[in-house]
Each structure stands twice: as structure tokens, then as C-alpha cells.
Homo-oligomer: A and B are copies of this chain.
Amino acid sequence: MNGPIRHIVLIGAGNMATVLGKVLRQAGLQISQVFNRTLSSAEILAKDLASPFTDQLDQLDQDADLYLLCVSDHAIEALLPQLHFLDGKLIAHTSGATPGSVFQGHFSRYGVFYPLQSLSKSQPIKLSEVPICVDANEETDLVKLEQLAQEFSQHVYRVDDHQRSLLHVAAVFVNNFSNHLYDLMDQWLGEEEIPFDLLRPLILGGAQKVQGLSPREAQTGPAVRADLNTIRRHLDILQEKRPELVELYKTLTESINPDLQQHKTT
């Protein structure tokens, strides 16, 4: 109970389990078992990790140092009552949206091990670049989870439930919402037969810029420089071509530069 984490049981065999399982094994840890409701999925991942696997909860390895819940937010609560026999063992989930307190009343030792990235099996990412947010109800376990994350990432942060819930919202803004802006433009330019490739370097350049600068320092464009001529021309174009985007353009422009609210932009 006091040594570092060496043996890990993965519960789940989806994106999260796959990405974490591979990087943990590469870091020299032993995935002592893969559990999944669908045995064939457990088997596929277990093969990659040279691990035993099972689809029966009552056959779970009871000697692991960590039980890592890599299941959907929805499945976490459903699973907990069935895992009572693990009480006393360290259990952690990998969800950005679920508080660690979900374990209260079920387990005496619990934590969170949350990689802040949009993970997918098909798009391999370097987990060493991904911030890992750790939390636990006991300081000794928090240190263990922290050390485990440091085995493969240089970006390990202690993040409590409150902070993680804010980060989860922020991730939607910077990732999902930005991507949607790209999508809106891809759909539009596609109809105008302008290749989206023209915008790809601009998108990448914008993300690279804020790796060193603050977004405030990196802000460019007609809104921040209060260039009303350009803003009016853009609104005219949108009104003609994409009227459903006029309000969004105005909202974001006035959010960038609140002084523009006084001017009627149309």
C-alpha cells in the first residue's frame, strides 16, 4: 500500500483505456488485467498490452495497486456499486466531467487521473505533451497518482473537483467551439468551391501563436482594431451569403471589443 503504483487494472477498453494502457506499459508499468463488458474488445486491447483480460467483474484481479476506470461518464456511477469488493484498494476515474466525490460512500481510497486532451484511437497523440490532472482523497494516494503521471508526462497538475469542472467547460470553448467555427467555414467555402486547405495553415498558426503568447497578445483582426469599414463589409457579405451567421459574427466581434456595441455595425 505504501510503494509506488506498479500493477494496474484497466476497467474499460475504449479510447481512454487504449491510449493510457499503451503509454503506461511503455513507461514500464504492468497492466495486470483488462476488463470490458464486451470480451472481444477487452481481448484486442489486452493483446496489445500483453495482459490477461476478462468480462466478469467477479474475476477481477484483486492484487493491483490501482483500478483505473476508463469508461464513459454515464457508466461510472452504474459500475461503482458492483465494485464494493475492491474497497481499500485505490480506484481512480479518468473523466473531466465527473467529480472525485462520486466515489464517496463506495470507496475509502479514490482519486482522479484525467488527461486533458481530446483522445481518440485513430488519431495518435503524444501523451507526454498532454497535461495530466490528478486528485485523490488522501495525500499519499495523490502523490502516487502524481508519480504515475510523471512516468510519461512532464505536465502533471494537482486539480481539484472544482477546478476540473471549470477546466471541462473551458475545454469545450477552446476545443469544441473553435472546431465548430472551422466546420462552419469548411461548409461555406465548400459550397463556394474554395478549398478548406487555404485556411489550414492559418488555423495551425493561430494555435501555435498562443503556445508562447497570451491570447490577448495574439489577438488580431478588425474587431480588436475597431475597423468598422471591414466589419460592415463582412456583415454585408454574411447577410447575403450566410445570414444565419450574422448574429454570431456580431456577438463575437462585440465580445472582442465591447466599445463596438455603441456603433451600430449594421
Contact = CB atoms under 8 A, between A and B. Distances in A.
A44 interface: no
Does more than half of chain A's interface fall in helix, strand or loop, or is it mixed? Answer: helix
Nearest to A190: B214
Contacts of A39: none
A178 B73 CA distance: 27
A224 B176 CA distance: 9
Contacts of A140: none
Interface stretch (A22-30, A46-54, A79-87, A215-223): A215-223
A182 B215 contact: yes
B211 A204 contact: yes
A155 interface: yes
A191 to B, nearest CB: 10
Contacts of A251: 247-248, 251
A176 B118 contact: no
A238 B179 contact: no
Contacts of A155: 197-198, 201
26 contacts: A130-B205, A131-B198, A155-B197, A155-B198, A157-B198, A163-B194, A166-B188, A166-B192, A166-B237, A167-B199, A170-B189, A172-B234, A173-B181, A173-B245, A174-B181, A174-B203, A176-B220, A176-B224, A178-B178, A180-B252, A183-B216, A196-B214, A200-B210, A200-B211, A206-B207, A247-B251
